[in-house]
């Protein structure tokens, strides 16, 4: 192997290109080949650990050979042991169930910036990470440590080549300079800068324009509290602070000792070989620690007695650490700074909170994001949590020496082993953890299309048949107190007697609340709730149309959990399972029974309710499966006397429920069959019910069942833009809900029936536009005829229009009594609100607001007037 010395920018450029070619080849290697190269390089680096340590000390004049041996050993052995079995090539995750595959790819070429304090161990660490991740690396050594850094890099390279790696997979600058370093870091072919060094170098890396991972300055404080194992704490600090003469950036720079044990700690330091400086000696040493506001490089990594001698202070050669007692944390206090030497500040604190405050100040003064230490009884969870919450450091160490503890995998096996310790945004870094292989990989996610888990949720008990109410109520024989929610008409007409007579025979206490009016308000609900809270029912029975059932559902919700907020309940969602607001689990206090006295809303089997704010007039549509009643009783006897107009409007409402559920993007095999049969029944029997509803029991029963079936379908498939528009039309002009749906449905069918919608609603199971095909299937199910899809859809529309005519439903919004001036005044706002309605998300064609507006106009005008008014509106 012959490598030309890189001592100029021109030669560095040549090296970069060679390394680039080698990395392209290496990127194709298998995991097996990479792991063998990684293993052989680790072994080789480890075998040279003593020689490299001696070379580093000889070249830099810093640190302790024996400790550098440990660092080299750690960089080779611990890093290999941590990552030897980790997948870093190709597919690293393959979840076939959820269709997620993650593929690891190398970054490319890494620029490795190496400090003078750890010239060999850092080089070993970064080179091994690069090899494990199929990256190449080019080292920029510190000029004062270039020989030892290059020696470490060469050892790794030779071992890698011998194991089959490309020739230039590791490179280096032989004659480092600021110019050469800048050229390397700014080069377009550098894919990541891994910068370990002083703040200036790290800042240069981040400002290079290339991705970078750097480290921050350390100013590690260590608290020693009165509950700790005192001897362990003091000796851990000494072991850490003397390691490589204090050059590990995570090493303790200050200890903060609680007042009641201060003298004892001081004595233990003295007994274990520390030297506590007098005030005069401290001033002298302080004068040489910091020069011109910066750390004096001459003292870095030097033994304690030598630093003292430099200051004109005589201490024993056996002195391990120089301790200066301090009280201030500011620029003028040299011992408050990061010192990278066996020198240590010692602060006193009156109590634990003051100690933490001082630790926070020391970190803010010069060690944001790096490391902090607490020595305390391991049972002091409150203190540990408090300390952890206050210190803004990436590593919060408990009862461990920080030099050895922060680098990981020695005193805590789950802390990643690393010689590059990120400090996060606190320290101006991009990561706040120990850097490892994951930071040197691009992870590609291959996500296959998957359909979400779907559902079919209805009340667990549904009882039906003419006259079934008394027998069904007997199912509540385990209940003690029933709260009945209804309206004044049903109460005064004796409908609730059908419930209360049975409850009396079962010795169940009851309370009847009959103040519900159409479009129930928050005020009504709160009045009912106040009674409910005193009565404390274990079953709630809602009897009536949609309004009593909606009111009862919300009372139930607020009775179960008084803390719920309407604003949260009404938040829109795209997927009901992923909604922001979490509904409480209902049923702990009471169960819910729903008994419809109209055929249309389906509310007895749905998770939906609408409540109106009295003060603002805002309607809150509430939807969550927790609101699904526990029991529904579908007794045809209760709907025999429905008025003709209510029969027509509610019947069309049920028809629209089934139609929209059938074409919804959430429709499933479970809802499709129910939707189709509900549609068939309604077309067959709704005219009969309208004309002879009070005598035709069979027709009335069939329509009543179809309403519940349509409710079951849309409870799970949801609705569409027809309901979105109907909600807002009804709110703006007090148009009955069923009538509003009737006025809009055929125009919505025309709008949805396209194979090329401008926008399709996004939902994984909805693969392509199907609305036209599904409407055609409805026509087929009804036997309407037609040869093409378009013909079948038109026949369905014609059949709906015939049904509407037979039910005496107005032809247009204008015919329903809405004035033209008022309509066009509210049109824009109404269109926007309809777009934002919860039902819009399930419509197969995702509408633009302008398209909703256009449909409103078409439904407002007679066919002859539509084009003329649209043209005039556009001119405005």
Task: Please work out, in degrees rounded to the nearest 5, the angle formed at the alpha carbon of residue 729 by the alpha carbons of 728 and 732.
Answer: 80
Strand 369-375, strand 290-291: pairing: unpaired
Question: How many residues make up the chain in this entry?
Answer: 876
* HSE toward the beta carbon, residue 523, CA cutoff 13 A: 9
Strand 109-113, strand 136-140: pairing: parallel
| Catalytic residue flag (residue 722) | no
* d(C-alpha 785, C-alpha 657), whole Å: 23
User: Where would I find the H helices in 561-640?
Assistant: 566-569
* d(C-alpha 376, C-alpha 396), whole Å: 13
* d(C-alpha 401, C-alpha 202), whole Å: 26
Give the containing element (helix H, strand E) for 267.
helix 262-271
Contact 633, 740 (CB under 8 A): no
Block residue for tokens 């201060």: 262
What are the DSSP E strand ranges found in 468-544?
481-487, 509-516, 539-544
Under 8 Å CB-to-CB from 662, ≥6 apart: which residues? 671, 672, 675, 676, 679, 713, 717, 774, 778
- Kindly list the distances between the CA atom of residue 859 and the CA atoms of 204, 806, 814, 870, in Å, as whole numbers in the listed order: 66, 19, 8, 12
Catalytic residue among 249, 423, 722, 839: 249
Collapsing DSSP to helix, strand or coil, 400 comes out as: coil
DSSP letters of 39-90?
HHHHHHHHHTHHHHHHHHHHHH--S-HHHHHHHHHIIIIIHHHHHTT---SE
Contacts made by residues 489-492, CB under 8 angstroms, sequence distance 24+? 490/514, 490/543, 490/544, 490/548, 490/597
Q: Which residues are 621's β-sheet partners?
A: 610
| Three-state secondary structure readout of 696-743 | CHHHHHHHHHHHHHHHHHHHHHCCCHHHHHHHHHHHHHCCCHHHHHHH
Give the containing element (helix H, strand E) for 288.
helix 279-289
Rg of the chain's alpha carbons, rounded to an integer? 39
* d(C-alpha 848, C-alpha 734), whole Å: 25
Catalytic annotation, residues = 249
């Amino acid at each position: 192997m012959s490598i030309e010395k890189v001592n100029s920018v021109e030669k560095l450029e040549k090296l970069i290109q060679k390394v680039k070619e080698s990395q392209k080849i290496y990127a194709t290697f298998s995991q097996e080949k990479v792991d063998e190269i990684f293993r052989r390089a680790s072994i080789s680096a480890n075998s040279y650990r003593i020689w490299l340590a001696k070379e580093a000390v000889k070249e830099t004049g810093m640190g302790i050979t024996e400790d550098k041996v440990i660092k080299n050993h750690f960089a080779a052995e611990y890093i290999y042991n941590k990552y030897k079995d980790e997948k870093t090539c190709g597919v690293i995750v393959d979840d076939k169930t959820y269709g997620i595959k993650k593929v690891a790819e190398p970054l490319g070429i890494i620029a490795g910036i190496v400090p003078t304090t750890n010239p060999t161990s850092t080089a070993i660490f970064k080179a091994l990470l690069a090899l494990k991740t199929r990256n190449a690396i080019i080292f920029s050594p510190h000029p004062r440590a270039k020989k030892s850094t290059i020696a470490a890099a060469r050892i790794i390279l030779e071992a890698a080549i011998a194991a089959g790696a490309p020739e230039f997979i590791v490179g280096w600058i032989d004659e480092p300079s600021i110019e050469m370093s800048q050229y390397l870091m700014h080069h377009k072919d550098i894919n990541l800068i891994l910068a370990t060094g002083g703040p200036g170098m790290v800042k240069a890396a981040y400002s290079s324009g290339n991705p970078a991972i750097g480290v921050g300055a350390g100013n590690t404080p260590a608290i020693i509290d009165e509950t700790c194992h005192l001897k362990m704490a003091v000796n851990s600090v000494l072991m850490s602070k003397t390691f490589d003469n204090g050059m590990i950036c995570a090493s303790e720079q200050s200890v903060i000792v609680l007042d009641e044990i201060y003298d004892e700690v001081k004595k233990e330091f003295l007994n274990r070989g520390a030297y506590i400086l007098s005030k005069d000696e401290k001033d002298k040493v302080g004068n040489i620690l910091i020069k011109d506001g910066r750390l004096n490089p001459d003292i870095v990594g030097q033994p304690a007695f030598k630093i003292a001698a430099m200051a004109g202070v005589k201490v024993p050669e056996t002195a391990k650490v120089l301790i200066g007692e301090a009280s201030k944390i500011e620029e003028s206090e040299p011992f408050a700074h990061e010192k990278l030497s066996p020198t240590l500040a010692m602060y006193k604190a009156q109590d634990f909170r003051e100690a933490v405050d001082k630790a926070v100040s020391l970190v803010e003064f010069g060690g944001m994001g790096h490391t902090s230490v607490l020595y305390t009884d391991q049972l002091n969870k409150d203190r540990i949590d408090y300390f952890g919450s206050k210190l803004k450091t990436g590593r919060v160490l408990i009862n461990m020496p920080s030099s050895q503890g922060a680098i990981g995998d020695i005193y805590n096996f789950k802390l990643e082993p690393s010689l590059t310790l990120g400090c996060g945004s606190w320290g101006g870094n991009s990561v706040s953890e120990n850097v490892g292989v994951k930071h040197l990989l691009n992870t590609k996610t291959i996500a296959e299309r998957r359909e979400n888990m779907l559902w079919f949720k209805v009340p667990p008990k549904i009882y039906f048949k003419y006259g079934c109410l008394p027998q069904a109520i007997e199912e509540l024989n385990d209940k003690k107190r029933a709260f009945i929610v209804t309206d004044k008409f049903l109460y005064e007409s004796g409908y609730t007697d059908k419930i209360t007579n049975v409850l009396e025979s079962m010795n169940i206490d009851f309370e009847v609340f009959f103040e519900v009016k159409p479009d129930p308000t928050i005020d009504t609900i709160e009045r009912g709730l106040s009674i409910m809270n005193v009565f404390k029912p274990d079953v709630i029975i809602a009897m009536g149309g949609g309004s009593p059932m909606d009111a009862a559902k919300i009372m139930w919700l607020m009775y179960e959990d008084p803390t719920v907020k309407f604003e949260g309940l009404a938040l829109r969602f795209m997927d009901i399972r992923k909604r922001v607001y979490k509904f409480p689990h209902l049923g702990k206090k009471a169960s819910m029974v729903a008994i419809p006295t109209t055929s249309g809303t389906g509310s007895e089997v749905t998770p939906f309710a609408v409540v109106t704010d009295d003060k603002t007039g805002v309607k809150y549509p509430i939807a969550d499966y927790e609101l699904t009643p526990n029991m529904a009783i579908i007794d045809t006897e209760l709907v025999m006397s429905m008025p003709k107009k209510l029969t027509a409007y509610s019947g069309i409402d049920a028809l629209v429920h089934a139609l929209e559920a059938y074409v919804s993007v959430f429709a499933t095999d479970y809802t499709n069959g129910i939707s189709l049969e509900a549609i068939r029944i309604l077309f067959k029997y709704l005219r009969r019910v309208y004309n002879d509803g009070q005598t035709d029991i069979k027709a009335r029963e069939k329509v009543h069942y179809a309403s519940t079936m349509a409710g079951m379908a849309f409870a799970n498939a949801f609705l569409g833009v027809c309901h979105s528009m109907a909600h807002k039309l009804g709110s703006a002009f007090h148009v009955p809900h069923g009538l509003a749906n009737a006025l809009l449905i055929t125009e919505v069918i025309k709008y949805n029936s396209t194979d090329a919608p401008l926008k399709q609603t996004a939902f994984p199971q909805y693969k392509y536009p199907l609305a036209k095909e599904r409407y055609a299937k409805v026509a087929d199910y009804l036997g309407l005829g037609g040869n093409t899809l378009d013909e079948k859809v038109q026949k369905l529309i014609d059949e709906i229009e015939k049904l509407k005519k037979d039910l005496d439903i107005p032809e247009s919004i204008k015919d329903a009594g809405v004035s033209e001036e008022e309509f066009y005044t509210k049109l824009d706002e109404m269109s926007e609100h309809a777009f934002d309605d919860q039902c819009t998300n399930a419509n197969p064609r995702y509408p633009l607001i302008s398209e909703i507006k256009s449909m409103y106009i078409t439904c407002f005008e007679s066919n002859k007037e539509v084009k003329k008014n649209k043209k005039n509106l556009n001119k405005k």
